[in-house]
Amino acid sequence: MDCLFCDLERDLIIENDYAVAVYDSYPVSAGHALVIPKRHAATIFDLSEDEYAGCFELVKCLKPMLQEKHSTSAFNIGANCGEVAGQTIQHAHIHVIPRYEGDVDDPRGGVRHVIPSKAYY
Protein backbone atom coordinates (compact mmCIF):
# COMPACT_ATOMS: atom_id res chain seq x y z
CA MET A 1 0.00 0.00 0.00
CA ASP A 2 1.38 3.38 -0.99
CA CYS A 3 0.25 6.07 1.42
CA LEU A 4 1.68 9.58 1.38
CA PHE A 5 1.14 9.93 5.13
CA CYS A 6 2.50 6.49 6.06
CA ASP A 7 5.75 7.32 4.26
CA LEU A 8 5.93 10.89 5.49
CA GLU A 9 9.14 12.69 4.60
CA ARG A 10 8.65 16.14 6.11
CA ASP A 11 10.04 18.05 9.03
CA LEU A 12 7.92 17.47 12.11
CA ILE A 13 6.56 20.37 14.14
CA ILE A 14 5.74 18.15 17.12
CA GLU A 15 4.89 14.52 17.83
CA ASN A 16 3.70 12.17 20.56
CA ASP A 17 3.28 8.39 20.78
CA TYR A 18 0.24 8.40 18.50
CA ALA A 19 0.62 11.22 15.97
CA VAL A 20 2.81 13.78 14.27
CA ALA A 21 2.18 17.37 13.23
CA VAL A 22 3.57 18.84 10.01
CA TYR A 23 2.94 21.91 7.91
CA ASP A 24 0.48 21.34 5.07
CA SER A 25 2.13 21.16 1.63
CA TYR A 26 -0.76 23.20 0.16
CA PRO A 27 -1.59 25.64 2.96
CA VAL A 28 -4.73 27.75 2.88
CA SER A 29 -3.12 30.19 5.31
CA ALA A 30 0.27 30.81 6.88
CA GLY A 31 0.91 28.13 9.50
CA HIS A 32 -1.67 25.61 8.18
CA ALA A 33 -0.70 22.35 9.86
CA LEU A 34 -1.84 18.73 9.77
CA VAL A 35 -2.03 16.30 12.65
CA ILE A 36 -1.55 12.79 11.29
CA PRO A 37 -1.90 9.55 13.28
CA LYS A 38 1.13 7.28 13.05
CA ARG A 39 -0.97 4.18 12.40
CA HIS A 40 -2.76 4.07 9.08
CA ALA A 41 -6.50 4.55 9.51
CA ALA A 42 -8.85 5.85 6.83
CA THR A 43 -10.62 8.51 8.94
CA ILE A 44 -10.52 9.84 12.48
CA PHE A 45 -13.55 7.62 13.20
CA ASP A 46 -11.31 4.58 12.62
CA LEU A 47 -8.82 5.57 15.33
CA SER A 48 -8.63 3.93 18.72
CA GLU A 49 -9.61 6.06 21.70
CA ASP A 50 -5.92 6.56 22.57
CA GLU A 51 -5.01 7.52 19.00
CA TYR A 52 -7.94 9.95 18.79
CA ALA A 53 -6.98 11.55 22.10
CA GLY A 54 -3.32 11.67 21.04
CA CYS A 55 -4.22 13.47 17.81
CA PHE A 56 -6.31 16.09 19.57
CA GLU A 57 -3.60 16.50 22.21
CA LEU A 58 -1.34 17.65 19.37
CA VAL A 59 -4.06 19.94 18.01
CA LYS A 60 -4.13 21.60 21.41
CA CYS A 61 -0.32 21.77 21.64
CA LEU A 62 -0.08 23.35 18.18
CA LYS A 63 -2.23 26.33 19.14
CA PRO A 64 0.33 28.30 21.20
CA MET A 65 3.15 27.29 18.85
CA LEU A 66 1.30 28.58 15.79
CA GLN A 67 0.12 31.67 17.65
CA GLU A 68 3.67 32.62 18.51
CA LYS A 69 5.22 31.80 15.14
CA HIS A 70 2.40 33.13 12.93
CA SER A 71 0.82 35.87 15.10
CA THR A 72 -2.71 34.53 14.93
CA SER A 73 -5.45 34.24 17.52
CA ALA A 74 -8.13 32.30 15.62
CA PHE A 75 -8.29 28.83 14.09
CA ASN A 76 -10.45 26.48 12.10
CA ILE A 77 -10.01 22.82 13.04
CA GLY A 78 -11.38 20.13 10.77
CA ALA A 79 -11.16 16.64 9.36
CA ASN A 80 -12.49 15.49 6.01
CA CYS A 81 -13.84 11.97 6.51
CA GLY A 82 -14.54 10.19 3.23
CA GLU A 83 -14.33 11.17 -0.42
CA VAL A 84 -17.79 12.78 -0.44
CA ALA A 85 -16.56 15.06 2.37
CA GLY A 86 -13.54 16.06 0.30
CA GLN A 87 -10.93 13.68 1.71
CA THR A 88 -8.23 13.19 -0.93
CA ILE A 89 -5.63 11.26 1.07
CA GLN A 90 -7.22 8.18 2.62
CA HIS A 91 -5.21 8.39 5.84
CA ALA A 92 -6.86 10.18 8.74
CA HIS A 93 -5.64 13.72 9.40
CA ILE A 94 -6.80 16.87 11.12
CA HIS A 95 -6.33 20.34 9.65
CA VAL A 96 -5.29 23.13 12.03
CA ILE A 97 -5.80 26.31 10.02
CA PRO A 98 -4.76 29.67 11.47
CA ARG A 99 -7.11 32.52 10.59
CA TYR A 100 -6.23 36.16 10.22
CA GLU A 101 -8.15 39.41 10.48
CA GLY A 102 -9.39 40.27 7.00
CA ASP A 103 -8.42 36.95 5.35
CA VAL A 104 -12.04 36.75 4.10
CA ASP A 105 -14.65 39.49 3.87
CA ASP A 106 -17.07 37.82 6.30
CA PRO A 107 -15.79 34.89 8.37
CA ARG A 108 -19.19 34.26 10.00
CA GLY A 109 -20.14 30.62 9.59
CA GLY A 110 -16.55 29.35 9.58
CA VAL A 111 -16.49 25.64 8.75
CA ARG A 112 -20.12 25.85 7.63
CA HIS A 113 -18.71 27.22 4.34
CA VAL A 114 -18.04 23.66 3.15
CA ILE A 115 -21.55 23.99 1.71
CA PRO A 116 -21.59 27.69 0.72
CA SER A 117 -25.39 28.03 0.48
CA LYS A 118 -25.67 26.83 4.10
CA ALA A 119 -22.90 29.02 5.53
CA TYR A 120 -25.04 31.93 6.64
CA TYR A 121 -27.81 31.54 9.16
- Which has the closest alpha carbon to 99: 26, 42, 28, 46? 28
Query: Helix (H, G, I), strand (E, B), or coil: what is residue 110?
Result: helix
**In this structure, how many other beta carbons lie within 10 angstroms of the beta carbon of residue 110?**
15
| Active site annotation includes 32 | no
Which residue of the set 32, 40, 91, 93 is catalytic?
93
What amino acid positions are annotated as catalytic residues?
93
